[in-house]
Amino acid sequence: MSTDRTDHRLAIVGAGVMGTNIAALAVGHGVPVVLVDIADDVLAAARKTISRKLRHAQLMGSLPTDRPQGELVTSRSLRDVADATTVIEAVPELSATKAEVLTEVSRTVRPGTVLISNTSCIPVDEMAAWVARPDELVGVHFMNPAYLITMVEIIRGSGTSDPTMEAVTVLLTALGRKGLVVRDAPGFVINRLLHPLINSAAMLVADGVASVEVVDGLLEGCLGHSTGPLRTADLIGIDNLVDSLNVLYERTGDERCRPCDLMLEKVKEGSLGRKSGRGFYDYDRGV
């Protein structure tokens, strides 16, 4: 199976934080991308965001220098994913939204097209009920920012076929990524560990035990975290975290996953993290 980037035609559905991250990664590695979302203003903003992320990736030396960038096409129609060799779903972590998108994409693409969900917490086997060919569905959890972090989490559902796993490996190789495979479960490995940690960190701030800066500083200085949990929350998006925590809580009953009041308050007031300019920290929206 070829790893030539010209063999790949990638479609990404969802032009939010992760959709634009993955698009920047792919375009920067010479893979053409069709990016689909529901509104022209969202897609216009996404183009600017992807350009900024590509500049950041180039400055960090994380993109190959021996190839031209892939073409980026934006669209409001899911019909434009029909010719893709792989489709990545990167919409919010809401079951109804993912079900609608994956059902329509599965009806649109040809048999043999790999369907990847960038799911944070929803199990692949749960999503398999929404697609026509469950053997072609797999989870790939890209980290944020996807254009800098080279490791990904691959979630194999009970019905995911060997050819699908092989095709995913080929695509990730073309994107300069390495993956570790985990069995399907709510939250998988990364978010089953990370999201309750972030929630607990926010509770410590709410209880007055320590400030945001102190909580992050201790995790960074004592445990070697490159980014503290609350700064990580701002990077992910606090609204996205609340959605994922709700998924985990509903499916596991783990009280550590019930979103704490401080997280819910921040979502209610629109303090969502970097993307809104304010979360646990304040940010310059122009950066």
Q: Which residues are catalytic?
A: 141
The stretches of 135-189 forming alpha helices (DSSP H) are 162-174
Sheet with 151-156, side-by-side order of all strands: 72-75, 33-36, 10-13, 86-89, 114-117, 137-141, 151-156, 178-183
Task: Give the strand pairing for 178-183 and 137-141.
Answer: unpaired
CB contact at 8 A, 45 and 85: no
Q: How is the chain split among helix, strand and coil, in percent rounded to 5?
A: 50, 15, 35
Distance CA 94, CA 58 (A): 33
CB contact at 8 A, 74 and 43: yes
The set of residues, in sequence order, having a beta carbon less than 8 Å from that of 64 and lying 6+ positions away, is 28, 29, 30, 176
Q: Which amino acid is at 129?
A: A
